[in-house]
Structure 1
């Protein structure tokens, strides 16, 4: 069935050049590589294996042969009916299996990453809740500190004012004490001056009395 499909495609495509293309030995059987485009030419390689990639060098449509080069550099002719433009089913299946394995590994990794992300998200949410509680507690502590600080500041200002008033009173007391001392000194000085004046007055009075002429009692 595969060969019929390939032949139908070749008939439809007509004499289109296939140079520089890559063809594959189909998975029907092993194919001999010949020196020329006929079954009468000498066989170079008796059994090219299925799935072997061949570089197309030319084609003899009338003879039904295609000139190819093998991966090791050997050139020859093979029947065109045994060539296919795609890798054989076995190789495609192997490639598909590898691709499936890669996709399954990728899917597994994505699932694991998704689980990790879910776990990380749950952990982040839990941590966020803890931080929110911690923030509320700190806010309450900060409010209490502010209240206490405000009271302390008020008391500090009051103490500062009391100290200032006390210092002012101390200064006033010192001034009053100095004034009292000055008054005492002034009073003592006045008493001294008054006493000295009286003594002086007494001396002057006594001197005046003595200086007066005495009257005779016989006159």
Structure 2
């Protein structure tokens, strides 16, 4: 009976002797596959294999083994030497490379956007130049109109000159009207001539075709 009590007491003491720790994430070391066992020893059943970089939750340490919890919730023991608190270098490098690639892509996108903004800026500058040119043209026209107005005001003193200018403009307008009518007449003549030519050409083609057909029929009859 004393032996049984002593044995139970020893088990309790050994349970308290197990080093406990606050749960933290640790990783399987580089380039290995670690077996997760039911207990701290090779005699215990293998629950699953953990590959390099697998994150596990560290629960406690016991006799060279660490008790961990895998992502799927399974708990077991792995050799302490195969578990690290740091992410494996290969995964760190991969993450850094991925981050660098992402930054490079962002830089490329920003460069493209900058090119687009540059093009848009040039287009806006071109439009602004056009607006400024139009404004300058309007200002020039305004100055010309103001000058003409002043001239008209000055010339209003001489009605005869104004009447002469009116007559001159009227004559020019009539001349332009005559020229326009002549141009229209010339255009109509050219169009009619072209229609006649097209008609004669078509008739000639039909006539030649008729002659060729007639000759062909004559030859067939002669044979």
TM-score range, shorter chain: 0.5 to 0.7
1:113-149 residue CA offsets vs partner (Å, 9 max, x unmatched): 1222222222222222222222111111122233444
Shift of the 21–129 alpha-carbon distance from structure 1 to 2, 3 Å rule, reads same
Q: CA deviation at 1:74?
A: 0.9
Matched, 1:97 2:97: yes
Taking the TM superposition and a 5 Å limit, the aligned residue runs for 1:15-30 are 18-30=21-33
- Matched residue, 1:35: 38
- Richer in helix (by share): 2
Taking the TM superposition and a 5 Å limit, the aligned residue runs for 1:1-219 are 18-45=21-48, 47-60=49-62, 63-149=63-149
3-state DSSP of counterpart to 2:44? coil
Q: CA deviation at 1:18?
A: 4.3
Q: Which runs of 4+ in 1 moved over 6 A?
A: 153-156
Hey, what's the Cα distance between the residues in 2 that align with 1:149 and 1:59? Answer: 104
Q: CA deviation at 1:152?
A: 5.8
What residue ranges of structure 1 are gaps of 5+ in the alignment?
1-14, 160-219
Would you say how many aligned residue pairs link Structure 1 and Structure 2? 142
- State the superposition RMSD in angstroms: 3.0
Hey, what's the Cα distance between the residues in 2 that align with 1:123 and 1:129? Answer: 10
Shift of the 17–134 alpha-carbon distance from structure 1 to 2, 3 Å rule, reads farther
Structure whose alpha-carbon radius of gyration is higher? 1
